[in-house]
């Protein structure tokens, strides 16, 4: 892949996520906070390196995309405001866009509504499964 495309994908991830990978000081608090750490191949604290290196394709191919629960503990606790969870989210969105499929449309949502289901979950599901 050309360097240009690398840069393009990199800036797209940054745009979508609103994350600031260059602010990371590699403290690892994200990985320390992550409930799915053990199941991930790329660990939360490593997300930023993939973005910084422009290696978005590897990130998009990673198992971690499916393992991240979008609990955003990493975003909440990050002392540097890096937002690793948002990076995963962005990579996921890019993947969905690439595949051109939306598994969830707004019309499907009312049926799924259940007073027991937290709204946050719905929102993150929506984020994850729709284009």
Binding site for other proteins (CB under 8 A): 23, 25-34, 37-38, 43, 45, 73, 77-81
Longest dimension (CA), the chain: 49
Provide the b/e sequence for 45-72 (b: ≥16 CB within 10 Å).
Answer: bbbbebbeebbbbebbebebbebbebbb
Q: Report the nearest approach of other proteins to the CB of residue 79 (Å).
A: 4
Give 31 or 130: the residue with its C-beta nearer to other proteins.
31
Give 6 or 43: the residue with its C-beta nearer to other proteins.
43
CA distance 127 to 94: 11
Q: Report the nearest approach of other proteins to the CB of residue 106 (Å).
A: 33
- Tell me which residue of 27, 19, 28 sits closest to 56, measured CA to CA: 19
Q: Report the nearest approach of other proteins to the CB of residue 39 (Å).
A: 11
Give 19 or 94: the residue with its C-beta nearer to other proteins.
19
């Amino acid at each position: 892949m050309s360097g240009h495309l690398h840069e393009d994908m990199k800036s797209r991830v940054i745009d979508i996520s609103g994350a600031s990978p260059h602010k990371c000081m590699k403290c690892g608090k994200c990985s320390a906070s992550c409930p799915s750490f053990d199941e991930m191949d790329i660990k939360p604290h490593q997300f930023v390196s993939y973005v910084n290196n422009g290696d978005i394709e590897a990130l998009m191919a990673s198992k971690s995309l499916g393992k991240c629960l979008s609990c955003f503990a990493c975003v909440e606790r990050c002392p540097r405001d890096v937002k690793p969870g948002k990076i995963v989210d962005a990579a996921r969105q890019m993947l969905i866009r690439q595949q051109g499929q939306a598994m969830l449309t707004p019309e499907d949502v009312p049926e799924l509504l259940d007073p027991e289901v937290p709204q946050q979950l719905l929102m993150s599901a929506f984020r994850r499964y729709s284009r």
